[in-house]
Amino acid sequence: MLDRPVKTPCIGVCSTGIGDSVCRGCKRFAHEVIDWNSYSPQQKRVVDGRLSGFLSQCVSNKLLVTDVSLLKWQLSVQQISHTTAHDEYCWVYSLLKAGAGQIDDASSFGFEVHHEYRELSLKALRELIDQEFFILSQAHYDRYISAPDLFVAE
């Protein structure tokens, strides 16, 4: 739905106040954190789309959703808050944030861990995904925001 409201991605762990250009909590750029309340719905959707795309990429590099219906059901039964407009990989991350330590069998939640990460606990995997998400957001900021001279025509 095009007119869906976009909730703030803030998770209450802001690091922009201590000088980070990218928030370690929500992964928004410092100026996006500061200006969020003045953004139009379209501007918020653009930020939300970038963040959910990056998160989905990071999760799908480590997990495979095998049963979307089962995942949806588990999110509902477990009463886990998630953004339905995001894809199933973002939903898995919401699941991991809420209860990675309580999941013994990933397949009963509709996903599996890629072979090379199966030795990690789901908590450790969640932390690895979060670190990769931050690195990806920081790299995007460094390439496109902090280096505007790259786009100056000569």
Q: Are residues 106 and 33 in the same domain?
A: no
Q: Which domain holds residue 18?
A: 10-39
pLDDT in tens, 20-71: 999 999 999 999 999 999 999 999 999 999 999 999 999 999 999 999 999 9
Distances in Å between the Cα of 78 and the Cα atoms of 95, 103, 148 are 9, 11, 45
Give yes or no: residues 76 and 15 share one domain: no
* CA 104/CA 90 separation, integer angstroms: 20
- In angstroms, the CA 97 to CA 73 distance is 17
User: If you ran DSSP here, which 8-state letter would residue 83 be given?
Assistant: -
Q: Which residues pair with 29 in a beta bridge?
A: 22
- Could you tell me if 56 and 117 lie in one domain? yes
User: pTM, whole model, 2 decimals?
Assistant: 0.92
Residue 122, C-beta contacts closer than 8 angstroms, at least 6 positions apart = 96, 100, 101, 103, 106, 113
Residue 59, in any domain of the structure: yes
Read off the pLDDT of residues 75-125 as tens digits, 9 standing for 90 and up.
999 999 999 999 999 999 999 999 999 999 999 999 999 999 999 999 999
